[in-house]
Structure 1
Amino acid sequence: MKNLCLICRGGKRLCGKLLCPIELKAKLFIKNMNIINKKEYIGSSPPSVFVGRIGYPKVYIGPMVPPIIGNTSIMDMPEAWINESLENIINYRYILIRGEIPYYVDLARKSDRLIESLQELSMGINSVDTEVQLIKEPLKIIKIDDNSQIFGPSAPLKNFYIYSIKVDRKIEKAYYDWDLKAKDAIFQLYKDNIPISRIQKAFSMGVFGILKNRKLVPTRWSITAVDSIISKRLIEEIKNYDTIDKYYLFHREYMYNKFIAIFIPMKWS
């Protein structure tokens, strides 16, 4: 079967979407790539870290930093995107420069300056002033795929420095508790109203868990794992709730997606 995107080229809307995602990504990609053309950057990380999955257990890790000084926290906080336009969200992703260096995942529990810096960054509350030195200019590539994740340019990491940071004290407490299981730390932080995206970043950098078991977790896997841990705990709590007495239907539309939830008056099975 031929690729619809190659046939359509954004003009016929053969996929049925109101907005061509590839066309929009290409437009914003060109806009941002014009200002990313050197090997050293000083910028305020949202804060944001990245752990790849290719080559596991040896993966690429590194900070994500925009060439901007100031409050950039919204760039990596999906919880704050609910009223943002699709164009703004794509723009946030493309402007984040990713420095990368290969590490074995079990080094999360070792004493290493870069690991410690990235773990500290993952625990940050507000935007963090940083400096990123790359071995070469960032590689600028756009994937012609309407379902691919959006990432900014990347390059091998040479050095990374944090100038000032304020960490989340509750996450820091879990970090220093070497006997606390990761799943217990995650759910307690959720109950303490710590943003899930912040929990996911810290979990990805191996901040939680019994010390001997701590590992770096690829970003994509950490998102799934944290959601799963929290959801399973919540389901166990919901099972003890009183049964409702009628049907409920909830509907929401966001970013060309429709979400429907149906509540049924019967015991959980």
Structure 2
Amino acid sequence: MTVPRCVRCKGSKNLCGENCRYLSNIGLIQDREIGNEVHGMSPPAVFVGRHNYPKVNLGPMVPIEDKEVYPDTELMYGESLEDLIAMRSSLVRSGFSSNVSVGSWSSRLIDLTQEIAMSTSPVDTEVEFRKPPRFEVKLDAYTQPSGPYGEIRKAMITENPSIPRDVDYIVGDRDAKTTTALEELYKRGISVSQSIRLLSSGLLGQEKERKLVPTRWSITATDSNLSELLLDRIKYYQQINQVYAGYSEYLGNRCAIIFIPANWQFELVECYMKGSLWSGGQATYISEMEDYNGRTKYADKTAGAYYATKLAVAEKLEQMNRQAKIIAVREIGDEYFIPLGVWVVRETMRDATKNLQKFDTLQQALNWTKNKFMFSGRWMDKSQLLEKHRKQRRLTDYIE
């Protein structure tokens, strides 16, 4: 399956060697005066860049105006595109440079950034920049939009952050591996968003192994690790005994999930409709999957959306105490013209699992799902799992 270059790149891999024409043409650069100093209630949001890794830029995100900014993406779901952009563009990505390895950390700014990352509520923060930031909105297919970038001269927090006891305990456990820490956070009800912040800020893992993790990488790593931890249990559960399907849509992302009685298998089919972000002048279908034993390579076509969807599905199966074969479908319409991050996929897929419909046959579920999409049932011809399922022989086939 040939995947167009823009769909593979999503503005992040520089496959064309030029500035991304999608991200540069959206027109979110605005004229606004920002001084050398910013003081406000910083949400517990930090950003760790990936350029020049292992030397990266990181720092807290500080508001330039009095606007409520939700601390977690779980709380953002359902907000309008305009409100999301306004909310996120009001944050300055204050930054300083550091090596990712724990042995290289010596700056008080590291401690400040980590304290903010551990908080569950906004923290009163003062930042002085080396020069006034130029206002512009940074867009990315994986992370949330953010406002201008400013290099920190000095910063301080003027109140004690509100840090949950469970977070403080797990961050303080310097013998636990990263996967163990993520599992414990999840079990104790800590949001996926906060777990991503903690991992990105170098607060999880064994003491000498701790590292700063670029935000983009920490998102996928958290989704992947948590889904695998859930699947370690799910694969011991009985299969579901009938077909289910669920659907939800948000900001031009139309998402459906079909649960089929079988051992665990998983596929994400994505359709970029003509005129949608990255698609160019043609509709594009991509599909990636895994069998019972999982994947050995990164899902580089569907990328972060694959692991975000997989977590949403694994959460539902764990809730059901069952395992199943899963076909997830995401259709991206032209309404989704600004990338907001893979959290949109995770939360829309989660919503699709909340009110599952029961069906007597797979064909009934497919017919129900087909009517939800602009391109109707054309995705079915692209589904690898559906093709294999239809060709697979069953024990009942041999019973006369």
1:108 is displaced (CA, Å) by 6.8
Structure 1 gap segments, 5+ residues each:
4-19
Bigger Rg, structure 1 or 2: 2
Q: What residue identity is the alignment partner of 2:94?
A: G
Pairing 1:98–2:99 present: no
In structure 2, the partner of 1:241 is: 237
| 1:206 aligned counterpart, secondary structure | coil
1:78-227 matches, within 5 Å, as: 78-107=73-102, 110-141=105-136, 150-164=145-159, 165-227=161-223
In structure 2, the partner of 1:50 is: 47
Q: 1:141 to 1:117 in 2, by over 3 A?
A: same
Quick one: which of 230, 233, 238 aligns to 2:226?
A: 230
Q: Is the 8 A contact 2:37 2:129 kept in 1?
A: yes
Q: Is the 8 A contact 1:108 1:205 kept in 2?
A: no
Q: Is the 8 A contact 1:44 1:67 kept in 2?
A: no
**Is 124-133 or 104-113 further displaced after alignment?**
104-113
Distance 2:122 2:178 in 1: 25
Q: 1:146 to 1:134 in 2, by over 3 A?
A: closer
1:53-72 matches, within 5 Å, as: 53-68=50-65, 72=68
Q: Is the 8 A contact 1:47 1:73 kept in 2?
A: no
Structure 2 gap segments, 5+ residues each:
7-21, 265-291, 293-400
Q: What residue identity is the alignment partner of 2:150?
A: A
In structure 2, the partner of 1:40 is: 37
Q: 1:109 to 1:200 in 2, by over 3 A?
A: farther
Distance 2:154 2:79 in 1: 33
Distance 2:73 2:142 in 1: 17
Quick one: which of 247, 256, 266 aligns to 1:260?
A: 256
1:111 is displaced (CA, Å) by 4.9
Distance 1:56 1:93 in 2: 25
1:234 is displaced (CA, Å) by 1.1
For CA contacts below 8 A with separation 6 or more, give which structure has more relative contact order: 1
CA shift digits 1:184-228 (9 cap, x unpaired): 111111111111111111110110111000010001011111111
Distance 2:237 2:243 in 1: 16
| 2:27 aligned counterpart, secondary structure | helix
Distance 1:84 1:141 in 2: 22
Give the root-mean-square deviation of aligned CA atoms. Answer: 2.5
Distance 2:237 2:84 in 1: 37
Q: Is the 8 A contact 1:66 1:97 kept in 2?
A: yes
Q: Is the 8 A contact 1:138 1:153 kept in 2?
A: yes
In structure 2, the partner of 1:26 is: 27
CA shift digits 1:130-154 (9 cap, x unpaired): 00110001033457x8958622101
Q: Is the 8 A contact 2:78 2:250 kept in 1?
A: no
1:246 is displaced (CA, Å) by 1.1
Q: What residue identity is the alignment partner of 1:97?
A: V
Q: Is the 8 A contact 2:34 2:134 kept in 1?
A: no
CA shift digits 1:21-40 (9 cap, x unpaired): 988x636x43xx52x42010
Q: Is the 8 A contact 2:142 2:216 kept in 1?
A: no
Q: 1:139 to 1:21 in 2, by over 3 A?
A: closer
Aligned residue pair count: 244
Question: How high is the TM-score relative to the length of structure 2?
Answer: 0.57
Distance 1:167 1:104 in 2: 26
Identity, % of aligned pairs? 37
Distance 1:261 1:40 in 2: 47
Distance 2:142 2:85 in 1: 12
Question: How high is the TM-score relative to the length of structure 1?
Answer: 0.83
